[in-house]
Structure 1
C-alpha cells in the first residue's frame, strides 16, 4: 500500500528534512539527560535542565517527550537494549570460552559508559520514577538467561529461580562497583561473572 509522504516532512532546510531534524533534537535531549545523570544522578534531570544542556527550548522537549518521566523511560529502554544486544550474541552456547566472552561483553558494557551504567544499575533504586520501567525491562535479561544459559535445567521453577537470582546478584554487584562500595578490577569482575554462570549451570545437572 503506497502512502503519500507529508510534503512538510520531505522539505529540506539546511540540507536536512524535518523528520531528520526532529530526530537529531530527540537524540540531543537524550544525550543531555545522560550527561546530567553522569554528573548528579537522575534527580538532576528536569525539563529545564535537559533543554539548557542540549541548547534547545522547551518547545522542542515537548516535541519528543510528554514529560521528564517519559524521557527517562525512553532513555532507560534504549540503554537496556544496548546492554542486552552484546550479551545475546554470546549466550547460546555450552562452552567455557563463550561464557567468558559473555562475561567480558557484560563487564565492558558497564565500563564503556559510566553514565549509562549508572542509569541502568543504580538510578532505579532511587526515587526517580525509573522503578516501574526497570521492572518492565528486566524480564528480557532473565529470559535470556533462562532460554540460553539454563536450558538444561528441566524444572521450570528451578530454571526461573536460578535466572532471577543470578541476574539480581550480578546487578547488585555491579551497582556496588559503580557507587564505589566495591573495589575490584575488570579482571576480577569478569572472573566472578564466569564463576557465577558456571556455578548456576552446574547446580542442577545431577
Structure 2
C-alpha cells in the first residue's frame, strides 16, 4: 500500500496507481473540482466571492491542492473565463462558417439558449467583466476573437476594412451589454423577445454598408 504524499507518477515501471487512478488523473480531478467550485461561488455571489479559501472549502480540498493547479485566485478566474469563452465561441464559429441568412433566427436561438443553459457561466462571461473582479485584462484579450469572427465572416462583404471593423466591434460590444443587462435583471424581456431582437440585429447589420 502506498502511504505519504503523492509523488511523480512516471518512472521506469510506468504510472503509479492509487485507488485505481494515476496521480495525473487525480490532479486533473482536483483541478476540475476547484473550477466547478469557483463556478458555484460565481453563481451565488459573483466573482468577488471567489477566494482561494472559499474555493477550497467548496471543493473540500486544502490550499496545497489549490496551488498545485493555480498560482493565484486571478489565474483560476483567467483559466475559467477562457474555458467558458470557448464554449460560447463554438456555436458562433459554426454559424459564421456557413454565413446563411436563413439561419439567423436559428443561430440567435442557439446563442440565447446557451446563455440560459448555465447561469453560472453566463454570469462569469457576460456580467462579471463589468465589475471590479480582476477580469478586465482577460476580457480584453479574449473578446477580439469574437469580433474577428464577425469581421472575417459575417461582415466579409464590407470592402472598407475600417467599416468592417466598426461593424464587428459595435455588434459584439452591443450584444455583450444587452445580455449583461438581461442577466442582471435591469433589462426585462422574455427569451423569445431576446431571440427576435438578436435575429433582427443580425439582419440589420447584414444590410449595413451594402450600398
Q: TM-score, normalised by structure 2?
A: 0.92
Change (3 A) 1:161 1:9: farther
**Distance in 2 (alpha carbons) for counterparts of 1:9 and 1:137:** 38
The residue number in structure 1 matching 2:64 is 59
Structure 1 residue runs without a partner (length 5+): none
**Range moving further from structure 2, 87-96 or 131-140:** 87-96
Q: Out of 25, 28, 32, which is 1:20 matched to?
A: 25
Structure 2 residue runs without a partner (length 5+): 1-8
How far 1:97 sits from its partner (Å)?
A: 2.6
Indicate yes or no: 2:71 matched with 1:79: no
Contact 1:41/1:123 (<8 A) preserved: yes
Indicate yes or no: 2:87 matched with 1:93: no
Contact 1:9/1:18 (<8 A) preserved: no
**Distance in 2 (alpha carbons) for counterparts of 1:86 and 1:11:** 40
**Distance in 2 (alpha carbons) for counterparts of 1:110 and 1:9:** 43
The residue number in structure 1 matching 2:4 is none
Q: Out of 87, 112, 120, which is 1:115 matched to?
A: 120
Calculate the aligned-residue CA RMSD, in Å: 1.3
**Distance in 2 (alpha carbons) for counterparts of 1:130 and 1:156:** 29
The residue number in structure 1 matching 2:6 is none
The residue number in structure 2 matching 1:138 is 143
Q: TM-score, normalised by structure 1?
A: 0.95
Post-superposition Cα deviations, 1:53-109, rounded to whole Å, max 9, x if no partner, equal 000000000000001000000000000000001111112234233222221221111
Indicate yes or no: 2:10 matched with 1:6: yes
